[in-house]
Amino acid sequence: ARRGDLAGRRVVVTAGGTREPIDPVRFIGNRSSGLQGYALAATAAARGAEVTLIAANTALADPAGVKVIRVETALEMREAVFEAAAHADAVVMAAAVADFRPAAPSESKIKKTDAEPEPIRLVKNPDILAELCARRREGGADAPGVIVGFAAETDDVLANGRAKLRRKGCDLLVVNQVGAGLGFGTPDNAATVLGADGSAVEVPRGPKEALADVVWDLVAARLPGRTAE
Ligand code: C5P
Q: Is 189 a catalytic residue?
A: no
pTM of the model: 0.95
User: What pLDDT does 177 receive?
Assistant: 77
> Which residues of the chain, if any, have pLDDT below 70?
1, 179-183, 226-229
Instruction: Give the distance between the most distant pair of CA atoms in the chain.
Output: 71
List, in sequence order, every residue forming a beta bridge with 31; answer none if it has no partner. Answer: none
Contact 13, 92 (CB under 8 A): yes
The number of C-alpha atoms within 13 Å of 34 and in the hemisphere containing its C-beta is 24
User: What pLDDT does 184 receive?
Assistant: 72
User: What pLDDT does 145 receive?
Assistant: 93
Contact 215, 92 (CB under 8 A): yes
User: What pLDDT does 183 receive?
Assistant: 66
Q: Quote the ipTM score.
A: 0.97
User: What pLDDT does 154 receive?
Assistant: 82
Closest residue by Cα to atom 16, ligand 1, is 127
Please give all residues whose beta carbon lies within 6 A of any atom in ligand 1, as ranges.
14, 74, 93, 95, 97, 99, 125, 127-129, 149-151
How many A from CA of 8 to the centre of ligand 1? 28
User: For 111, which DSSP code?
Assistant: P
Catalytic residue among 30, 125, 176, 189: 30
Determine the number of helices (DSSP H) and then strands (DSSP E) in the chain.
5, 12
User: What pLDDT does 182 receive?
Assistant: 67
